[in-house]
Structure 1
Amino acid sequence: MGRLTTHVLDATHGCPGAGIRIDLYRLEGEQRRLLRQVASNADGRCDAPLLQGEAFAAGVYELHFHVGDYYRGRGLELPEPAFLDVVVLRVGLAEEGHYHVPLLVSPYSYSTYRGS
């Protein structure tokens, strides 16, 4: 069975990105369908996989990480509009298996990869 997990690391403060809102969408043509809204826990992870079991299906998904709100909540003064307010990662899930999508983020940059 397939599953999708994620976690967020705050490169500015050198810690997990705790309390970041993450929205998961499935793309169906040009339409986005919201599947879940969660917040990262104290370890920067979600308490459960974003997709698993019968909810997992091959397709195109977007993860929206609300990092601007996170950094504002930590007291950082960001320009308005923030350079990175919502980081959007579009990923294709082609087969069953574990897809792990880490996000390393700062107010002005991010990187991601398919983790394990």
Structure 2
Amino acid sequence: MAGYLTTHVLDTARGCPADGIAISLYRVSGNSHRKIAEAVTNSDGRTDAPILPEAEFGTGTYELIFHAGDYLRRQGAGGDVLFLDEVPIRFGMTEDAHYHVPLLLSPFGYSTYRGS
């Protein structure tokens, strides 16, 4: 089985999927970050396709950056300066497998885990 990466965002403050969040995926090597993909969450809080499909998958260190600020403002978080704006999650993928890295988001906190 070839590896691939999926993600989604849930708004834990409202108890629903978070739509319209831009996500950037970077490959990390030492001090180098190279953007390799971008996507936006749909009405189910998911991307329409894997953010890193099988054809482009490789093991290594990656970083997802969730551009959550505009979404949080739309939900009424307000203000020019948010507690959370961009949420980076750095992780490693060591085998050809399905990796799922979700973001559980609220205006004042977040968590993640390796999902299935």
Q: TM range, normalised to the smaller chain? A: over 0.9
User: Which sections of structure 2, spanning at least 5 residues, go unmatched?
Assistant: none
Q: String of CA shifts for 1:13-69, please: whole Å, max 9, x gaps.
A: 111010101000001221110111110000000000011223100010000001111
Instruction: Report deviation, 1:102.
Output: 1.2
Amino acid at match of 2:99: Y
Determine what percentage of the aligned residue pairs are the same residue: 54
Amino acid at match of 1:85: D
After TM superposition, where is structure 1 displaced by more than 3 Å over at least 4 residues in a row? none
Q: String of CA shifts for 1:48-97, please: whole Å, max 9, x gaps.
A: 0011223100010000001111111233314x431111110001011100
Name the structure 1 match of 2:29. 28
TM-score by length of 2: 0.94
Q: String of CA shifts for 1:84-114, please: whole Å, max 9, x gaps.
A: 1111000101110000011110010001100
User: Which sections of structure 1, spanning at least 5 residues, go unmatched?
Assistant: none
Q: How does 1:1-116 map to 2 (within 5 A)?
A: 1-78=2-79, 80-116=80-116
Give the number of aligned pairs.
Answer: 115
3-state SS, counterpart of residue 51 of structure 1: coil
CA RMSD of the aligned region, Å?
Answer: 1.1
